[in-house]
């Protein structure tokens, strides 16, 4: 009788654990689907800086290309989840003042890009845009620095661990999508799992994060820096700024840190 009771109790516990995991999985999936990608109406119109590139499934992607005469390095910039190329134009054009070529694109459903965004599509389209730039724009695949802000950090991290990379910049990036909303690492189906990939990075990396970030807490930046190879990693922690005001409020120091990083590559 006692043995049967123990087995019944064990089976009940397994059912409760399974229900708990399923609940958190479904909750996390719903939350990340609603909050991870938030495209709005396009904030720009096509001009000479915008090219249209076809993805593997013929989805049209809007690509920004800002060449600098004589530049050998190219920064491939990935914007956040509530921005498009028009809203990041200030950063893209300022990068050109640092003496580097600049490449960027709008994720599916953002700006003038067609389709619907997803983690898989972001990775696939980023590779398509990079391959296009190498084949058609004269970009040297071995002299590309990947810079990702917030959501874009997940795409930058993916490329830095699967393609040749001269450098990586992680700005206001998260450990993973789930961990922005839930302090859980055991729930299946997480997205943009930067923390799990950080140890595979083999290029110099700069981690930038505002200490008052209320969207992606400062601890995300700290822990990412700890998981990256210490001998290759530099940090720029910014006092008194949050998630969306970092570049504006720390402008001179922000660009000085990036110039110093690029200059050391």
Active site (catalytic) residues: 150, 213, 243
Torsion sign (Cα): 209, 174, 199, 63: negative
Alpha helices in 116-198 (DSSP H): 119-136, 152-162, 177-181, 194-197
* Closest by Cα among 123, 121, 134 to 160: 123
b or e along 223-234 (b: 16 or more beta carbons within 10 Å of the residue's beta carbon)? Answer: bbbebbeeeebb
Q: Is 117 exposed, middle or buried (0-12, 13-18, 19+ CB in 10 A)?
A: buried
Phi/psi for 207 (5° steps) reads -105, 120
Q: How many CA atoms lie within 13 A of 106 on its CB side?
A: 33
The DSSP result for 26-68, as a single string, is: HHHHHHHHHHS----S------TTEEEEE-TT--EEEEEEE--
**DSSP letter (8 states) at residue 106:** P
Angle between helices 119-136 and 152-162 (to 10 degrees): 60
Whole-number Cα distances in Å, 104 to 96, 141, 151: 12, 15, 14
């Amino acid at each position: 009788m006692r043995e049967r009771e123990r087995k019944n109790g064990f089976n009940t516990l397994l059912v409760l654990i399974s229900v708990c995991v399923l609940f958190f999985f479904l909750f996390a999936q719903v939350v990340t689907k609603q909050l991870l990608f938030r495209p709005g109406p396009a904030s720009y119109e096509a001009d000479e800086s915008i090219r249209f590139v076809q993805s593997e499934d013929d989805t049209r992607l809007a690509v920004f290309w800002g060449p600098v005469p004589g530049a050998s390095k190219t920064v491939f910039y990935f914007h956040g989840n509530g921005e498009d190329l028009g809203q990041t134009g200030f950063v893209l054009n300022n990068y050109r003042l640092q003496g580097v070529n600049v490449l960027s694109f709008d994720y599916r459903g953002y700006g003038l890009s067609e389709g619907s965004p997803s983690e898989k599509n972001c990775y696939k389209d980023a590779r398509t845009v990079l391959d296009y730039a190498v084949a058609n724009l004269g970009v040297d695949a071995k002299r590309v620095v990947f810079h990702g802000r917030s959501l874009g950090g997940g795409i930058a991290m993916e490329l830095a661990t699967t393609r040749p990379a001269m450098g990586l910049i992680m700005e206001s990036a998260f450990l993973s999508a789930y961990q922005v909303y839930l302090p859980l690492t055991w729930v299946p189906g997480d997205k943009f799992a930067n923390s799990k990939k950080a140890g595979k990075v083999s290029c110099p990396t700069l981690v930038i994060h505002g200490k008052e970030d209320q969207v992606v807490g400062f601890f995300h930046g700290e822990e990412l820096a700890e998981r990256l190879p210490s001998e290759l990693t530099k940090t720029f922690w910014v006092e008194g700024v949050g998630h969306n005001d970092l570049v504006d409020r720390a402008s001179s120091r922000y660009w000085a840190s990036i110039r110093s990083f690029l200059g050391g590559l």
